[in-house]
Structure 1
């Protein structure tokens, strides 16, 4: 869903009459997925008297997406919350959750072979850049929150790239763009410096034990050998064909006979394999000062863009302190501006005051109540009013976080909520979507919350020739309003939707989590915290529960099918502009939760001391020593003093893995 087309909906967002079959949502029983005829009877499937034209769900030329034809109803679990899609993965040595199983497995092998959480995160991210190319890759940005078991502390890394030095208001005015038109959405003048590769380098340099030569190998090999196209990626790819057709290199790399690669077909990207091989040998400098930098700038210059070699060479990712609020005894951490992280925290702060201020308890109302959802949506609007009023690059503007995240401010905003009537948002801003997220934990207790993205599907639509990756369009998030804190300027970082999140309690790590989906991220993260803290859901149940998406620009409220059936009519009566939606605009939640345990008669303090000593020893070993140790010891090293519980969203292709 693009920034400049918020009045339109994704082709998969709103359900059409007689169109997309309704999936199981979270709040009721199973949804009726049959297709009813005018008489009320369910139509028989094609080929009812014989074999299906798509046995085993195999696509054909005439039926490229067999899943859209299914009319069966969904089964349920045998116990607990029956609509939950799967059990959590429970593991002790390490865990990964992300949107592509092959990527998660690549990271898991790194953990099993002696690497730590940072090592595994980079390996996983590199594979994601190959197998989910519409969402992330070398041409994008990244952010991470890292919990160091050795330091017992969180570290934040902002690896969002800055604008070319030539970019200012005059640059865009001369090209026909102004405050009314906004920034160009795609193309060469939407491209900012890709920060992700430097971010991965900085993360490994400070906390990793392995280097790019080992960690990029799974992705490089897979790019050469090819991978199968899964369902959600295929749908996203199909949606992106028109964007890719604007650039000859994108057509050559990412389209097959002018179309998206067929569902379940094998896709190879030898150019991206070459990029990974170069990085394996020459490291991050190849990207910012070497041959890949030369290729990026040559492509941009060919399209009359402004980025120079100096713009790339001078860029550095930045270590920052995560920001937080306490929600019912849990410290929820987000990244500071230029991200939308404080929007999620403000939303939680406001909702924490609904009891004292409005006399309405979220837990008592519960998720079957229209008032519950009304409060969440109204809190979101107020938080996003502040988000779009104040957010900007803190190197250029002062964001008053102390006031915005204060209890007094939350009380004042909560008082603005009418418990019975919807209020339009004060500040309009576009909805956006795309991104990949991953959470990783290792046997020493280190945990990583990691997110990176091209912004919209395939970013700018422009691919770097010879290296097989598209460049992001994050620059489209700048403002051309000279009074905005997010106004474009030289070497400035634009408004960022990317927000990895983390939960702590009493100084101990609880959970690394995140949700992709542009502006959905902040509102979904707040909802998921409420699901787990207020409503008592486990992380997988929180992933599976129905969500909402509110568009700050159009004031349209999208609800997944079962939630729409449950509360849509009542919310409409309260003044909300409600639409029934698929899960497409709801993003994708991934989480690794750590449950500390005391076991074997040893105190937690003694266990923690042992874990810290083991971590210190491992961190000081060279890459060769780590590999040799892993080969000789296998899984003999002690696991973490507890269990990891891992969840992955059914709305994506992914999975939770652990060992």
Structure 2
């Protein structure tokens, strides 16, 4: 695959859906900032990529302000309801939080609040204009993409089980197909109400009332007070240096620090001297991932509820210790089994002509989230809270008002104090690994952003519904490497070439002269547009 890599000096947008990319371009060309375009793109993705994201989910935004040279992050993840605790499930005889249904939706959606705060900080267009394209596509419909159609087929049972979702996706009892028009009138009404009322329409107004009324009727656990109390927060990003670059990630409760740990480990190796298609490369990647995930799984949760020793975890000396561990055990793979987690996410990036940049990511957690939509809302609720543990000894144990371990992690890389690359990917366990593939492709192997996104990928770990902790490799000329890895003791699976299992990533690179290049993942429905 050799997609065209657009270039431009005035702006660049890269998203996982071509309609959202076109909306972002139009906002910037009409005089909007990167923040304006990010909000419009985020809202549009909730309409045209409803299996991955929507107003009922969470979002993380990372903003670079060209005038001040400052980076800020917005944590738009929701907290568990005030009355939600392990005893609620124990009293009902449940051994774990349900993965689907109204009782899996136990964290307040943070998406709309995040839009509002990003717009207030960096926007300059009227709020209602940013939601207008999304509202129009919800009203008038759009062609179902190949990726949405794929996930509709996989999730047909869940879509059928919820009356509001069945009405949308299975009219006359038949599942819609790729190319069919999907119209979402209830979602359009919700977006129109948010245009008029702003964030308060979702957290204190009529939209919230309909959501909570539906949840109460169906046995849900979130209350009006939970919605009214929700506030995301502006946070300082965390960063490490990597071969002369400054790599920024969102702090916990995001797993972003795990990618920084991986880069710290790999900085000890002369990576460019290791062939990218060799068993040695994939062994080093897999073992680095395992060492990092061991610490991630031990510590990651809401930092308001537990201490996370980031200073130690992100130190170069600790990275050297991990690298030496890998070397001492070579070629034997280390055991590690992370908890299974969802992988359905949408990442996008925007840079405007003034140099303002936004790297952002959003999700419902599983495909179609909780697979629950309160009637007359069009709001598909997330099931992010289902990843909480009911084990009191677990770091990510459920508690009222707590934010869960979060997979979402947009990245921004600086050179000389200015954005050089914006990178992110869909995929729970895969997000830090796909970022590692792309970032090392850019920095260590001298790839363009399109080449870096197109490199063969690996994924170590599990997604929900799978018991295997195998190392999965895209089957693109890697049979010999796979055979060697198996000989070393790895459990290797060769998956399809360009397999969506390995994530859908987007990226933008800005050179020292201001030339922007962008790319959308050939594994998805995305588009990069530059001008």
Q: TM-score range by the shorter chain?
A: over 0.9
- What is the rounded CA distance, in whole Å, between the counterparts of 2:175 and 2:310 in structure 1? 44
User: In structure 2, which of residues 191, 203, 208 is the aligned counterpart of residue 276 of structure 1?
Assistant: 191
The answer for the alignment partner of 2:515 in structure 1 is 643
- What is the rounded CA distance, in whole Å, between the counterparts of 1:255 and 1:330 in structure 2? 49
The answer for the alignment partner of 2:74 in structure 1 is 157
Q: Give yes or no for contact 1:199–1:317 (8 Å, CA) kept in 2.
A: yes
The answer for the alignment partner of 1:653 in structure 2 is 525
The answer for the alignment partner of 2:355 in structure 1 is 445
Q: Give yes or no for contact 2:60–2:75 (8 Å, CA) kept in 1.
A: yes
Q: Give yes or no for contact 2:277–2:478 (8 Å, CA) kept in 1.
A: no
Partner SS state of residue 463, structure 1: coil
Q: Give yes or no for contact 2:211–2:377 (8 Å, CA) kept in 1.
A: no
How well do the aligned residues superpose, as a CA RMSD in angstroms?
1.3
- What is the rounded CA distance, in whole Å, between the counterparts of 1:268 and 1:563 in structure 2? 42
Q: Give yes or no for contact 2:361–2:410 (8 Å, CA) kept in 1.
A: yes
Q: Deviations over 1:17-68 (max 9, x none)?
A: xxxxxxxxxxxxxxxxxxxxxxxxxxxxxxxxxxxxxxxxxxxxxxxxxxxx
The answer for the alignment partner of 1:419 in structure 2 is 330
Q: Map of 1:180-219 to 2, 5 A cutoff?
A: 182-191=96-105, 192-219=107-134
The answer for the alignment partner of 1:246 in structure 2 is 161
Residue 304 (structure 1) aligned with residue 176 (structure 2): no
Q: Deviations over 1:154-187 (max 9, x none)?
A: 1000000111111112112112233xxx322111
Partner SS state of residue 210, structure 1: coil
Q: Map of 1:429-468 to 2, 5 A cutoff?
A: 429-468=339-378
Residue 344 (structure 1) aligned with residue 259 (structure 2): yes
User: In structure 2, which of residues 301, 315, 320 is the aligned counterpart of residue 406 of structure 1?
Assistant: 315
- What is the rounded CA distance, in whole Å, between the counterparts of 2:180 and 2:103 in structure 1? 34
Where structure 2 has 5 or more consecutive residues not aligned to the other structure, the ranges are none
The answer for the alignment partner of 1:483 in structure 2 is 393
Partner SS state of residue 366, structure 1: coil
Q: Map of 1:542-557 to 2, 5 A cutoff?
A: 542-551=452-461, 554-557=468-471
Pairwise CA distance, 1:126: 1.2
Residue 585 (structure 1) aligned with residue 494 (structure 2): no
Alignment size in residue pairs: 522
Q: Give yes or no for contact 2:341–2:387 (8 Å, CA) kept in 1.
A: no
Residue 173 (structure 1) aligned with residue 90 (structure 2): yes
TM-score (norm 1): 0.78
Q: Give yes or no for contact 1:511–1:593 (8 Å, CA) kept in 2.
A: yes
Partner SS state of residue 454, structure 1: strand
- What is the rounded CA distance, in whole Å, between the counterparts of 1:169 and 1:218 in structure 2? 41
| Range that drifts further, 136-145 or 461-470 | 461-470
Q: Deviations over 1:243-287 (max 9, x none)?
A: 112211121123233343111111111111111111111111110
The answer for the alignment partner of 1:27 in structure 2 is none
Q: Map of 1:508-547 to 2, 5 A cutoff?
A: 508-547=418-457
The answer for the alignment partner of 1:118 in structure 2 is 35
Q: Give yes or no for contact 1:431–1:551 (8 Å, CA) kept in 2.
A: no
- What is the rounded CA distance, in whole Å, between the counterparts of 1:175 and 1:89 in structure 2? 55
Residue 323 (structure 1) aligned with residue 238 (structure 2): yes
Residue 576 (structure 1) aligned with residue 490 (structure 2): yes
Q: Deviations over 1:280-300 (max 9, x none)?
A: 111111100001101111111
- What is the rounded CA distance, in whole Å, between the counterparts of 1:363 and 1:328 in structure 2? 12
Partner SS state of residue 359, structure 2: strand
- What is the rounded CA distance, in whole Å, between the counterparts of 2:286 and 2:275 in structure 1? 15
Partner SS state of residue 200, structure 1: helix
Residue 258 (structure 1) aligned with residue 173 (structure 2): yes
Where structure 1 has 5 or more consecutive residues not aligned to the other structure, the ranges are 1-83, 356-360, 598-641
- What is the rounded CA distance, in whole Å, between the counterparts of 1:110 and 1:342 in structure 2? 32
Q: Give yes or no for contact 1:591–1:647 (8 Å, CA) kept in 2.
A: yes
Q: Give yes or no for contact 1:253–1:468 (8 Å, CA) kept in 2.
A: no
Q: Give yes or no for contact 1:189–1:475 (8 Å, CA) kept in 2.
A: no
Pairwise CA distance, 1:491: 0.8
Q: Give yes or no for contact 1:143–1:500 (8 Å, CA) kept in 2.
A: yes
The answer for the alignment partner of 2:22 in structure 1 is 105
- What is the rounded CA distance, in whole Å, between the counterparts of 1:517 and 1:443 in structure 2? 30
Q: Give yes or no for contact 1:99–1:588 (8 Å, CA) kept in 2.
A: yes
Pairwise CA distance, 1:434: 0.6
Partner SS state of residue 440, structure 1: strand
Q: Deviations over 1:221-261 (max 9, x none)?
A: 11111111121221112111111122111211232333431
Q: Give yes or no for contact 1:183–1:476 (8 Å, CA) kept in 2.
A: yes
Pairwise CA distance, 1:428: 3.0
Q: Deviations over 1:177-198 (max 9, x none)?
A: 33xxx32211122111000100
The answer for the alignment partner of 1:366 in structure 2 is 275
| Range that drifts further, 140-149 or 270-279 | 270-279
Q: Deviations over 1:62-118 (max 9, x none)?
A: xxxxxxxxxxxxxxxxxxxxxx52232101111100111011101111111000101
User: In structure 2, which of residues 401, 404, 407 is the aligned counterpart of residue 494 of structure 1?
Assistant: 404
- What is the rounded CA distance, in whole Å, between the counterparts of 1:255 and 1:323 in structure 2? 44
- What is the rounded CA distance, in whole Å, between the counterparts of 2:138 and 2:90 in structure 1? 41
The answer for the alignment partner of 1:28 in structure 2 is none
| Range that drifts further, 219-228 or 395-404 | 219-228
- What is the rounded CA distance, in whole Å, between the counterparts of 1:339 and 1:477 in structure 2? 13
- What is the rounded CA distance, in whole Å, between the counterparts of 1:566 and 1:202 in structure 2? 50
Q: Give yes or no for contact 2:437–2:455 (8 Å, CA) kept in 1.
A: no
The answer for the alignment partner of 1:48 in structure 2 is none
